[in-house]
Amino acid sequence: MSGTVDITQDGGVLTLMMNRPDKKNALTDAMYGTMADTLKNADKDASVRVVVIRGEGDLFCAGNDIGDFLKSSGNIGKTNVFRFIRFLGTFTKPLVAGVQGRAVGIGTTMLLHCDYVVLAQDAKLSTPFTGLGLVPEAASSMILPATIGHSRAFAMLAMGEPMDAADAVAAGLANQLVANTDLNEAVAKAANRIAALPPGAMQATKALMREPGVTGARMEAEIEIFTQRLQSAEAQEAFTAFMEKRKPDFSRF
Ligand code: COA
């Protein structure tokens, strides 16, 4: 299956570039594997001060590859999806993201673990889990309501309503809104500013601000239900409908 995550390092800034633009950077198991391994290694590598997550092409990330969901439903626990999510929640160095276009599912929930997020003008965040017969992941069922309040989080997580870039910045989901043409520069500037600060103080500050034990426990609770939901007839109908390019029909449930 096509798709890579390209890793580059410039000074203390390590960049993870999701690179599968023909499929809107939908994440395959191999891509999750690269991202998980990269975070694991970067956490131990003193030369890395900050990790940046980007997506190649016209949008950031269309979420998990839905064909992979169909194939792996009974064995999701053995794939790299949750390995990546768990590393995200425990990563000790600052994470920066730059988002253009759509960020769907994990494309949005990974941003909740980023410490500095820059959105381009056309960025749109969405988490259409229930429409896929699924439940939220990556502790988003806890972090999103805590960040933006229950009402807005319900509209996103339960009703699948997207949030545009201006609303996301106003709601505290991102730091900066810039023109699409300025995204690369704004991300580089933020990452370099963070990388230039004392790393010990930076990591200690992040550790004080994040609660990996608490979010980790929520992730595990979500993973249990998510795994069950993947095998549900509702999810199978949603995935099959996506692959067949038709509207799902939930009327029989
Ligand atoms: N899994 C697998 N393939 C995906 C995908 C995904 N999550 N998202 C997009 N693709 C594929 C499409 O099937 C299409 O493939 P094709 O060219 O072989 O037909 C290609 O990527 C382009 O997608 P398309 O839908 O034509 O692009 P768009 O710009 O019109 O729409 C999105 C972009 C992201 C809005 C739309 O692709 C989408 O809704 N994707 C599904 C998102 C999703 O539900 N993710 C799971 C969240 S848990």
Taking the model in full, what pTM does it have? 0.98
Single-letter amino acid, residue 179? A
- Distance from Cα 43 to the centre of ligand 1, integer Å: 32
pLDDT at 1: 60
Angstrom distances, CA of residue 227 to CA of 210, 230, 231, 251: 26, 5, 7, 23
How does pLDDT run along the chain (253 residues), one tens digit per residue?
678 999 999 999 999 999 999 999 999 999 999 999 999 999 999 999 999 999 999 999 999 999 999 988 678 888 999 999 999 999 999 999 999 999 999 999 999 999 999 999 999 999 999 999 999 999 999 999 999 999 999 999 999 999 999 999 999 999 999 999 999 999 999 999 999 999 999 999 999 999 999 999 999 999 999 999 999 999 999 999 999 999 999 999 9
Say what the pLDDT of residue 104 is.
98
59: its two tokens: 């949008």
The closest-lying atom of ligand 1 relative to the alpha carbon of residue 102 is 34
- Residue among 1, 2, 22, 24 whose CB has most ligand 1 atoms within 8 A, to mutate: 24
For the residues of 190-231, what is the DSSP string, one character each? Answer: HHHHHHHS-HHHHHHHHHHH--HHHHHHHHHHHHHHHHHHHT
Q: Which residues pair with 50 in a beta bridge?
A: 13
The closest residue, in CA terms, to atom 41 on ligand 1 is: 62
Strands 50-55, 13-19: pairing is parallel
